Chain A
Amino acid sequence: MADHGSSPGNAVERRDIPVDAPGTAVVTTDAIENPGFPPYRPRVSDVDPKKERANERRVAWFFWASIVGSVFAIVAYFAFPIVAEDPGSVRLNNAFLGLGIALALFGIGFGAVHWSRTIMEGHDLVEDRNAGHPPEEKYAKRAGAGEVFTLGNKESGFTRRKLIRNSLIGALVVSPLPAVVLFRGLAPDEDPVPLLKHTMWREGMRLARDPDGTPIRASDVTIGSVFQVIPEALNDLEHDKLEQKAKAAVLLMRLKPEDLKVSPGREDWNYDGIVAYSKICTHVGCPVALYEQQTHHLLCPCHQSEFDIKEEAKVIFGPAARPLPQLPITIDDEGYLIARSDFTEPVGPSFWERSL
């Protein structure tokens, strides 16, 4: 390939065609030579006209089967309607419609492939990769393209007139920015950070069962039991119910008071061994739904973070970094559990401004 297009003494045609470097590849002259193509092994249908006709019929059968499948699917659409409140009818509709369509598709598919494999010309053909594109032409084309750029540059002064060029590049870079800014409209104008730091829990708000919203008496909470809790006022919300629930969901558990390790300042956050912790995992926000009664561990089903309720929901395993925030609770004069305040720290996954 190295001597393409060069003939000594002919300066006009002479052009150096670069040869692609082999790098550290071993280029040997002692390599075994390619033996060329093995002889063609004819198929049965090449030598036996009977077999060929049989294959022809088989292909046609596949295509006929496809038509049958399509018709079957249309018939099934009407023959197996969906009857309201009958899940079985959905299953029949799904299965028969699907079988019909699958048959229609398989018929065409297998027919075409069978045709190509057994009847169509079976010989492999050879094509030269560079046919019609000799290396000379490639480099001539490239030189031509280079010339176009050179001319374009010369006539416009793109590289010479730096002032124009650089200001154009600047303008092009800045011009998409308004489009980016427009996406600001996706969110409300409010600052998200204060929203993330507060939930709807307030002093005196009753703890209620999820989802029906009935308040919970301290006496309902037996040792070892666990309650899925929402603020009593949650179900009265008109529009941001899920947003509030995503922050305010709480798990309520009762342990023996002597089992609880209480740190200074949290002495009055539990009521007689009843403790409330945020249900939203401090890792990426899944609901920490699994409570193990024996060990008093909470397990997040998404990424298996484990929190020890005896030790103020300390992380004992898994990727979470912080304990679940505790909701300070007490009871009102009717014996219902109420919050003493909102959470004292943001709930849920960490964010950049969390500790500010």
Chain B
Amino acid sequence: MSVETTNRPGTEPAVAEVGRGMRFTNWAAGYVDERFKLSGWIRDYGRKIFPDHWSFMLGEVALYSLIVVLLSGTFLTFFFQASMVHVTYEGSYVPLKDIGMSAAMASTLDISFDVRGGLLVRQIHHWAALLFVASIGLHMLRVFFTGAFRKPRELNWLLGFTLFVLAMAEGFTGYSLPDDLLSGNGLRIIDGMVKGIPIVGTWISYLLFGGEFPGTTVVGVFYSLHILLLPAILVAIVGIHVIMVFVNKHTQYAGPGRTNDNVVGVPVMPVFAAKAGGFFFIVFGVIVLVAANVTINPIWNYGPYDPSPVSAGTQPDWYIGFADGMLRLIPPGWEIVLFGYTLSLNILVPTLILVTFLALVALYPFFEAWVTGDKRHHNIADRPRNAPMRTAIGAAGVTFYAVMWAAASSDLMATHFKLSIEGVIHALQFLLIFGPIIAFFVARRICIALQKKDREIALHGFESGRIVRMPGGEYVEVHQPLSDYERWRLVSYEDYKPLMVRPDKHGRISPIQRFRAGISRLFFEDRIAPVTKTELEQSTHH
């Protein structure tokens, strides 16, 4: 597959001019290369091409906000005391003066009120963490809806998924560290959920809290997880994730000149480095600007943890919302006692639903590959409309998540819109089951309709809005034909047919084959084939 690229310069090596200013650089480069042997690597990858599209920015935002989280978190460790030793607060914040609390809470207050810039860094850390999880989520949606998880990138999808889970774990452990009223309530909920685990739940809770809840060790345990174990795993996986993007080269969207076998874009040195490097500073700048102006997690308003008080509208940070919401959607009375042992179905069922949902997200690439049987490399990202079934499944998944997420604010929705809590929950329970089904069919129909429109435009051009009266009195609208470049975007996509079941060499059709054929029919029965050359010729001749 060779492509005509004459009207663009190729990747001819740029020859650096050796001026006087370069002499030191050359000497230094030579010195390093004699010892580290890096020049081959730079020769091979220094001009590596990165395709450009706004949606590729989401993963970058995730990476950069992670760097900001690491930087700001490191600063916080210099001042934070991960201890639940009981102290009396003596700092500058008057309303809490002389109140007993843990050293963790007191040192967090000191960071906020007695360390200059401490509040800023704390807020940078929290905002950057929120941005980290949010951008991972959006990045995953982008990868999902454009099919960028297909071979050879399925395993990288799994790594990315693991990062999403780790990011939530990091968020939750970090949220718990200040030992304020809200974080303590979050831990209380985790304790209740852990105790719901059959057989080992009581003991896991006992080990986690170093005795009975709340105990005096959980902040220390979570601190180890939050600043050592989880970040080590997270950073290692991020490293592999990014290296895999490097190795497999980035996907690109279909466009004139772009093929499955090339990469079109800007070279690392200098354009991508400047753009991406600059973008890191912009992301950092936005986070700092928000942190300088918008308060987040004002623990001084909540006070230290106490098992008795709690305020209405209690909510976790937004990314844990879907789990909290799922807990709220269970109807009353789901608990059974079997042979004297208590099974908390009101905890187990939602947990199982969450785990299954996440497992489906993680495994979808393998499912789709099994349905299509396609073993080729896919380096061209799909437009979502050109994979109606995938887009519909994604829309159903998003809806399911959104309903769980909304349920975490059921009480706030009720108070803000003057509804009854029961009514909100019942509506959400209904939507949890039927919302995804509706979203599925609506998304699928929209995709197919858009494909039909694309096909129409590819064949007959745009509607120009210009009405012409023919000599016979007939009115027609003049269509503006597309250029070859414009048309290419509309006609270059993968097309699949439903699987035909055929007997194997023993003359049998296995049930698995039948099942796969059924799924395949569901996927590809309604399909809009891309416009072919013959069709295009016919349409231009009549």
A contacts, CB < 8 Å to B:
1, 20-26, 28, 30-40, 77, 81-82, 84-87, 90, 93-95, 97-99, 101-103, 105-106, 108-117, 120-121, 123-130, 132, 183-184, 186-188, 190, 192-193, 195-196, 210-211, 228, 230, 240, 242-243, 245-247, 249, 279-281, 283-287, 289-290, 299, 301-306, 315-322, 348-356
Interface membership of B319, Cβ < 8 A: no
Which 8 residue pairs spanning A and B have beta carbons closest together?
A98-B292, A284-B192, A112-B278, A23-B373, A109-B281, A321-B335, A37-B257, A109-B282
Query: Least Cβ distance of B279 to chain A in Å?
Result: 6
Tally A-B pairs: CB < 8 A.
405
List residues 333-386 of chain B with CB under 8 A from any CB of chain A.
333-335, 337, 340-342, 344-347, 372-377, 379
List residues 259-288 of chain B with CB under 8 A from any CB of chain A.
259-267, 270-272, 274-275, 277-286, 288
When the two chains form their complex, are residues B533 and A82 in contact, meaning their CB atoms are under 8 A apart? no
List residues 436-467 of chain B with CB under 8 A from any CB of chain A.
none
Query: Least Cβ distance of A38 to chain B in Å?
Result: 5
* CB-CB nearest in chain B for A288: B310
When the two chains form their complex, are residues B529 and A353 in contact, meaning their CB atoms are under 8 A apart? no
When the two chains form their complex, are residues B533 and A31 in contact, meaning their CB atoms are under 8 A apart? yes
* CB-CB nearest in chain B for A82: B116
Provide the bound-state CA to CA distance between A111 and B275, in Å. Answer: 10
Query: What A residues does B211 contact at CB under 8 A?
Result: 187-188, 190, 192, 243
Name B8's contact: one of A37, A98, A111 (CB within 8 Å): A37
Query: What A residues does B203 contact at CB under 8 A?
Result: 187, 192
When the two chains form their complex, are residues B308 and A26 in contact, meaning their CB atoms are under 8 A apart? no
Query: Least Cβ distance of A97 to chain B in Å?
Result: 5
When the two chains form their complex, are residues B261 and A284 in contact, meaning their CB atoms are under 8 A apart? no
Provide the bound-state CA to CA distance between A316 and B117, in Å. Answer: 49
When the two chains form their complex, are residues A196 and B262 in contact, meaning their CB atoms are under 8 A apart? no
When the two chains form their complex, are residues A32 and B531 in contact, meaning their CB atoms are under 8 A apart? yes
Interface membership of B297, Cβ < 8 A: no
A interface secondary structure, majority? loop
Query: What B residues does A306 contact at CB under 8 A?
Result: 421
Query: Least Cβ distance of A23 to chain B in Å?
Result: 3
Query: What A residues does B241 contact at CB under 8 A?
Result: none
Given the interface contacts A98-B120, A321-B334, A352-B202, does A124 sit within 8 Å of B278 by beta carbon? no
When the two chains form their complex, are residues B373 and A37 in contact, meaning their CB atoms are under 8 A apart? no
Query: Least Cβ distance of B400 to chain A in Å?
Result: 18
Query: What A residues does B215 contact at CB under 8 A?
Result: 243
Query: What A residues does B513 contact at CB under 8 A?
Result: none
* CB-CB nearest in chain B for A281: B192
When the two chains form their complex, are residues A285 and B289 in contact, meaning their CB atoms are under 8 A apart? no
Provide the bound-state CA to CA distance between A93 and B113, in Å. Answer: 10
Sample 28 A-B pairs with CB under 8 A, ordered by A number.
A20-B375, A25-B495, A28-B495, A34-B256, A35-B256, A36-B5, A90-B119, A93-B116, A106-B285, A112-B274, A115-B274, A124-B264, A125-B49, A125-B265, A125-B266, A127-B264, A211-B306, A240-B212, A286-B189, A301-B310, A302-B314, A303-B328, A318-B425, A319-B329, A319-B331, A349-B195, A350-B196, A350-B344
When the two chains form their complex, are residues B116 and A129 in contact, meaning their CB atoms are under 8 A apart? no
0/1 interface trace, chain B 473-489, chain A, CB 8 Å (1 if under): 00000000000110110
* CB-CB nearest in chain B for A238: B86
Query: Least Cβ distance of A327 to chain B in Å?
Result: 15
When the two chains form their complex, are residues A87 and B374 in contact, meaning their CB atoms are under 8 A apart? no
When the two chains form their complex, are residues A242 and B307 in contact, meaning their CB atoms are under 8 A apart? yes
Query: What B residues does A190 contact at CB under 8 A?
Result: 211
0/1 interface trace, chain B 1-26, chain A, CB 8 Å (1 if under): 10111011111000000000000000
Query: What A residues does B262 contact at CB under 8 A?
Result: 126-129
B contacts, CB < 8 Å to A:
1, 3-5, 7-11, 44, 47-49, 92-94, 112-117, 119-120, 123, 185, 188-189, 191-193, 195-203, 205-215, 217, 221, 249, 256-267, 270-272, 274-275, 277-286, 288-289, 291-293, 305-314, 324, 327-335, 337, 340-342, 344-347, 372-377, 379, 410-411, 421-422, 425, 484-485, 487-488, 491-492, 494-499, 520, 524, 529-534, 536
Given the interface contacts A26-B496, A36-B3, does A94 sit within 8 Å of B120 by beta carbon? yes
Query: Least Cβ distance of A100 to chain B in Å?
Result: 9
Query: What B residues does A30 contact at CB under 8 A?
Result: 532-534
Provide the bound-state CA to CA distance between A179 and B253, in Å. Answer: 49
Q: Indicate the member of A97, A210, A211, A230 with the most B CB atoms within 10 Å.
A: A97
Provide the bound-state CA to CA distance between A193 and B305, in Å. Answer: 24
Provide the bound-state CA to CA distance between A303 and B192, in Å. Answer: 12
Given the interface contacts A304-B410, A316-B332, A356-B341, does A123 sit within 8 Å of B8 by beta carbon? yes
When the two chains form their complex, are residues A101 and B373 in contact, meaning their CB atoms are under 8 A apart? no
Query: Least Cβ distance of A236 to chain B in Å?
Result: 14
Query: What B residues does A348 contact at CB under 8 A?
Result: 192
Provide the bound-state CA to CA distance between A37 and B6, in Å. Answer: 8
Given the interface contacts A37-B7, A301-B411, A353-B202, does A249 sit within 8 Å of B293 by beta carbon? no
Query: Least Cβ distance of A130 to chain B in Å?
Result: 6
Query: What B residues does A1 contact at CB under 8 A?
Result: 1
Query: Least Cβ distance of A86 to chain B in Å?
Result: 8
* CB-CB nearest in chain B for A247: B212
Given the interface contacts A38-B485, A116-B275, does A186 sit within 8 Å of B217 by beta carbon? yes
When the two chains form their complex, are residues A129 and B249 in contact, meaning their CB atoms are under 8 A apart? yes
When the two chains form their complex, are residues B5 and A126 in contact, meaning their CB atoms are under 8 A apart? yes
Provide the bound-state CA to CA distance between A104 and B238, in Å. Answer: 27
Given the interface contacts A35-B488, A112-B277, A285-B189, does A127 sit within 8 Å of B306 by beta carbon? no
Name B282's contact: one of A22, A105, A132, A350 (CB within 8 Å): A105
Query: What B residues does A125 contact at CB under 8 A?
Result: 8-11, 47, 49, 264-267
When the two chains form their complex, are residues A351 and B196 in contact, meaning their CB atoms are under 8 A apart? yes
When the two chains form their complex, are residues A82 and B113 in contact, meaning their CB atoms are under 8 A apart? yes
Name A287's contact: one of B291, B309, B376, B488 (CB within 8 Å): B309
Query: Least Cβ distance of A92 to chain B in Å?
Result: 11
Query: What A residues does B533 contact at CB under 8 A?
Result: 30-33
Provide the bound-state CA to CA distance between A351 and B348, in Å. Answer: 12
Provide the bound-state CA to CA distance between A155 and B10, in Å. Answer: 49
Query: Least Cβ distance of B143 to chain A in Å?
Result: 19
When the two chains form their complex, are residues B281 and A34 in contact, meaning their CB atoms are under 8 A apart? no
When the two chains form their complex, are residues A21 and B375 in contact, meaning their CB atoms are under 8 A apart? yes
